[in-house]
Amino acid sequence: MRRLFAGAALLTLALTACRLDARDDYLGDKDPKNFDLGHSPSPEELAAINIDVSPNGQGLPPGTGNGADGAKVYASACASCHGANGEGKPPAYPQLLGGPMGASVDFSKDYKIPRTIGNYWPYATSLFDYIRRAMPLTAPGSLTADQTYAVTAYLLSREGLIPPNASLDAKSLPAVKMPALERFVNDDRRGSIGGKAVR
């Protein structure tokens, strides 16, 4: 019986030692460079993905586009999913244009009200940013800056938010006032991370 207990104790110690060694590797006690995972990005790689646009327009690229050119880009790159008139193709592709607008629209009382560019987007720059990053679905990021400005101008003009012949660029786009801006409030909560106050 003593031999059985001694054997079990030795086996337990051996297994514990293996688990501790594996745990050390998992927790990073070994040099991560030995894992051959990832690489430090080059400045060019960082620039290619660092394309976010702030509500104030910071990050907008050089370029310009108007609604007439945007209509052509929309027809060739967007209409197949979002419809010829921005009506969408449910359930996969949402309606972009033509939703009810005005203070009487209450999304909290009727979830079926379509959230469109004119009645729901708070910033025109966010529209540009989203189109630039994620559209068209089959080739995200493939539109040039001029094409993205043009499509943005087309959509905003169709919603009656800018004149049909208006051109947009890094200066004029942030100046577009979206009707839905008042529906949103700034997140002014304050908290802490690791005992340090953050905003």
| pLDDT the model gives residue 29 | 54
Q: Using CA atoms in the order 175, 146, 63, 184, what is the torsion angle rounded to 10 degrees?
A: 30
Kindly state the tokens that stand for 177: 């006032």
Residue 6 pLDDT > 90, yes or no? Answer: no
Would you place residue 103 in the very low, low, confident or very high pLDDT band (cuts 50, 70, 90)? confident
| pLDDT the model gives residue 13 | 60
Q: Please state which of the ranges 25-39, 47-61, 139-153, 155-169 shows the lowest mean pLDDT.
A: 25-39
Phi-psi region of 145 (alpha: psi -120 to 50; beta: other; left: phi over 0): alpha
CA distance 10 to 25: 23
pTM above 0.85, yes or no: no
- CATH classification of 59-182 is 1.10.760.10, yes or no? yes
Q: Where are the domains of the chain?
A: 59-182
Which tens digits make up the pLDDT trace of 160-181? 999 999 999 999 999 999 999 9
| pLDDT the model gives residue 47 | 85
Q: Percentage of the chain with pLDDT > 70?
A: 78
Residue 23 pLDDT > 60, yes or no? Answer: no
